[in-house]
Amino acid sequence: MRPLQTASNLCRAGYVGLVITTLAEALRRGPVVLDGGLATQLESQGQNLNSELWSAQLLYDDPDAIVAAHLAYFHAGAQVATTASYQASIGGFARAGIGRSEAEHLIRRSVRLAEEARARCADGHVRWIAGSVGPYGAALADGSEYRGDYDLSVADLRIWHRPRIELLAEEGVDVLALETIPSLAEVEALLAEIDGSGQACWLSITCAGDRNRAGEPAIQAFGLARDVAEVIAVGINCTDPADADSLVRQASEATGKPVVVYPNSGERWDASTRAWIGPALFRPEDVEGWISDGARLVGGCCRVGPTEIKAIRDLVR
């Protein structure tokens, strides 16, 4: 699935010198800092993200804004840029009047924009590009990624996810971010697509307490990834930070793999009003405990911005 890493590809990816470090290798050495919420930063730049495509709308309307958002996180100390493809899908673009060929181009563009931002940081540091693979529910734009209650089989979900996975991999991302996954069925579908492909990925589910959004035990979801070699980290995102400690330990115990953890701010998304409500509870200092419990990819999700990522980077240093 993934293109061979030729010398030209490695140069384009921004690797410096003779030592090539994959993200998996880096995680064996110590923690790596992720970015924060891409939409959070885009909104702080004045962008209106009220369309059903959310941040993916800017792949068409204002790609330079996406580059600027990636740069804001890189300058804050993030070592990974997550592409603006979370809510990008062939079907979602079709509902917005964008044909399949253009939709494929826009998904590929999400990788190139992250690469452009990385290329502007020519300071000798290795940085990675994560291709965001959001859940099916995100494309529905009705908040169902926080419920996992869509009525599709594992086979249906595999078919739906396949085009974006293939496009991101063909474009040469360093890793796929299978993120905000709310149900066991969708975890199973994504892992079936990845298993045997050779494409590195991380799996992060979204939880409430010790269960995923569909009400199933989180530890069961983590366990599904244990024997999939392509999965380099397992954990959570878009989850209340108050639940992170226990879930990090569960992910580590269930898989023996490095843990990825990037909670949201603790505020809650109200799909009916398309607004965040409730208090912000994210504290960068909590990262130290997550790392002690096995976390190696650490960052933030919705409503966590460059200020918090810089604080995490300072702690990791």
Query: For 207-220, what is each residue's pLDDT tens digit?
Result: 999 999 999 999 99
* Stretch 272-288: mean pLDDT: 87
Q: What is the pLDDT of residues 91-116, one digit of tens each?
A: 999 999 999 999 999 999 999 999 99
SS3 state of residue 84:
coil
Contact 212, 206 (CB under 8 A): yes
228 confidence band (pLDDT: 50, 70, 90): very high
Cα–Cα distance, 258 to 39 (Å, whole number): 26
Residue 63 pLDDT greater than 70, yes or no: yes
| Alpha helices (runs of H) in the chain, residue ranges in sequence order | 7-13, 23-29, 38-44, 57-61, 63-76, 90-95, 100-119, 136-140, 154-170, 184-194, 218-224, 244-255, 287-292, 306-316
Counting every residue, how long is the chain?
317
Cα–Cα distance, 85 to 87 (Å, whole number): 6
Give CA separation, 176 vs 83, 265, 287, 288, in Å.
Answer: 10, 23, 23, 25
- Average pLDDT over all residues of the chain: 92
**Paired residues of 237 in beta bridges:** 262
Cα–Cα distance, 69 to 49 (Å, whole number): 14
Cα–Cα distance, 296 to 300 (Å, whole number): 13
Question: By C-alpha distance, which of 119, 138, 139 is closest to 129?
Answer: 119
SS3 state of residue 201:
strand
**Paired residues of 233 in beta bridges:** 202
Q: What is the pLDDT of residues 3-29, one digit of tens each?
A: 333 333 333 333 344 355 899 999 999
| Alpha helices (runs of H) in 171-277, residue ranges in sequence order | 184-194, 218-224, 244-255
How does DSSP classify residue 2? P
pLDDT at residue 19 in the model:
53
pLDDT at residue 171 in the model:
98
Cα–Cα distance, 109 to 149 (Å, whole number): 31
Contact 136, 187 (CB under 8 A): no
Backbone torsions φ then ψ of 121, nearest 5 degrees: -105, 60
Cβ-Cβ contacts under 8 Å for 274 (sequence gap 6 or more)? 50
Strand bridging mode 211-212 / 207-208: antiparallel
Token pair 């115990």 in the structure block, residue: 253
Q: What is the pLDDT of residues 187-196, one digit of tens each?
A: 999 999 999 9
pLDDT at residue 58 in the model:
96
Q: What is the pLDDT of residues 29-56, one digit of tens each?
A: 999 999 999 999 999 999 988 888 888 9
